[in-house]
Amino acid sequence: MDEGSDINILYKDAFDRLNMDIRKLHASQSPFHGIVLGRRVMPLGMIDLSMTVDDMVHYRRETLSFEVIDFQGPYNTIFGSPCYAKFMAVPNYAYLKLKMPGQCGIIMVSGNVQNAYQYEKDASSMRRPIT
């Protein structure tokens, strides 16, 4: 979750695991900065994907646009502000919860603290020290 990011990112290895044809990508707007520390990233392209969020009772489905990047990262995707706006979702980083309105009330998705810790540890080891 990156509420400060203006884009949704899908890493290429996750894109490949979806068995999607790379020819389905359409041209990306432009390169971006700040996602990969100290590097300018030119996306491979953009793709629109139907996303479903559910808890055990009800669900919510929306179509989101993702920038596909060919970069190794500890995540499959990064949801930015376009995701939160589309789902009208509110993230709580301290409790690893994401709440959004659904057809039958509030949908609450919970993260895994151990996984989040390991991902952050992996991401920290990928960062270059600033000298």
CATH code: domain of residue 106: 2.40.70
4 or 91, greater pLDDT: 91
Average pLDDT, the chain: 82
- Residue 131 falls inside a structural domain: no
Q: Which domain holds residue 63?
A: 9-126
Q: What digits encode the pLDDT tens for the residues 42-69?
A: 899 999 999 888 877 788 899 999 999 9
Q: For the residues 95-105, what does the mean pLDDT come to?
A: 87
Q: What digits encode the pLDDT tens for the residues 11-39?
A: 999 999 999 998 999 998 778 776 666 77
- Residue 117 falls inside a structural domain: yes
Q: For the residues 3-8, what does the mean pLDDT come to?
A: 75
- Residue 17 falls inside a structural domain: yes
What domain count does the chain have?
Answer: 1
In this prediction, what percent of the chain has a pLDDT beyond 70?
85
Strands 45-54, 40-41: pairing kind: unpaired
* Run of H or E residues at 124: helix 113-126
- Does the pTM exceed 0.75? yes
Backbone angles phi and psi of 97, in degrees to 5: -120, 150
pLDDT at 66: 93
Whole-angstrom CA distances from 46 to 1, 24, 55 are: 19, 9, 28
- Residue 64 falls inside a structural domain: yes
